[in-house]
Structure 1
Amino acid sequence: MTFLKNFAIISMNKKAEIFIENNAKIKYKEIYMIQLEHISKSYKKIPALSDLSYTFEQNNAYGILGINGAGKSTLIGCLTGNLSHSGTIRYEGINLNQIGYVPQELAIYPELSVLDNLLFFASVFKVPKEQAKSRAAGLIERTGLQDKTYEKVKNLSGGMKRKLNLITGLIHNPKLLICDEVCVGIDPISRQEILEYLKELQLNGMSIIYTSHYLDEIEFLCGKILFLHQGKLILEGITAELVKTISGKEKPDLSDLFIQVIRKDGAL
């Protein structure tokens, strides 16, 4: 779990720059944003992100779209501080310890119980013990895992593991949640329950950055979308408004927009 070690020390990663106004101590504002300014990243001289600039604002859910190799995972790595890059990421009114990250790979320990996994991740973020216990109980109840509180993770179903994977990213009560393919490989009921929970979180003020190959998930959850292709941002905007631009269909959806955008850019 190398990425877990990386994420646990994000706040000490010198490659992730945090700008504080007037060099003052961090004072958390009601309004915050993350500004990407000319972000580029290459692997062995092959560009994965090219001069990407964008601003993520609070109280929004953002869907990041693109075919395999478009740069989605690289962007997530830059946002979480796990990847070095050129350009600047400015965290205004928020710091990296207030970001939750739910990776595609299950970041939970199979030999620990559901509760012990949550308490471990709470300790990583230095959540006080009593507060951690209270939060863990609430998250377990909200995701319907009460009967599995003391069960080892290795004995859980795939859907239950995905739910636990999600709430480990919520245990420290983040302002922003970054989700990378969180519903991959699970049954339809668990998938819908996770999506409805994420929607609830977003409606209650949490910002979400979300990647998925399932476009219906993004259309359900995300009010704004970003299309990446070959490491470049080729289209961004309000999801519903962009979908309305599709002609020739009575009820166009995000999949129609995706195909049109990617074909136009020569990927299909």
Structure 2
Amino acid sequence: MNTKPAKSTYSIPPKSLRFPEACGDLQVNACRNATCEGFGVEALTWVKRGRPTAGHAGKRDNYRLINKSSKMPDGLLMSKLCGSSTAIKSNKAIRAEFERISSYLQAPDEPSCPSGACCNRGVGVYSNPNAYTCKAKLKTSQRIKFKECGCVFSVVISPLHRQRKPHENKTVFQEIVTKKPIRGIAKVADLRPKAVYGKIDFIEGRVRAASKTLCKMYQTAVRLYEQKGRRNQPTPLEQYLTRWNAWFRGGLQGIKLHGGFHAATERGHAAQCRQQ
């Protein structure tokens, strides 16, 4: 009679999950029919098959896994209440994509001493300026020395760092708007394809930063709209827009933000914000 060797072990197979498990508090696998009673109710990742044990109520939900085959290994999520079905999605992938597209909203890491042997590594340049001294100031970067360990490193102060042809950024942006291929953009701007891709990443970063700034301006304008100014004095919203114009130094430069412009602002965009 054959016996089990002493060194061999038996492992219990893991439970096969019907649907992907939640990633933290994120679970997107649910009914998406707004008229269904189970709309937004999360599906259970695992349900014990068969009849429940005597005296115990088994866990059940109002979902079924259908159309699972070799061509469709994940199958579909079907609601028993309304009969609608939806594709099964990975919660981990959605969480990773959400963190990727919202990464520009997070504050960038503050530069600090890169020396691994330094006991004060992590002391920020901007939050602790007295701990550093400037050795050299270049066009797009600065050479900083940490007083504690004497380590010298560079800090980027301009987004145009390491760009040999920054004047071609406008050309690349105009060509992207007209939906030209990479080869055509490289030929017009006299750049290599690698440089074109680098400028596309640079333009994307500038657009994300601009959208973040405009969102903050929008929220501030909505808050200041309700505040009224004193007699013969500009309102807080008008003062804010004037300061914004002085800082922006772009398309609004030279335009006086009072009178008709301020009235149009209140009747238009700010009035819509108030209604919302």
**Structure with larger RCO (C-alpha < 8 A, sep 6+):** 1
Please tell me whether Structure 1 or Structure 2 has the larger radius of gyration of its CA atoms. 2
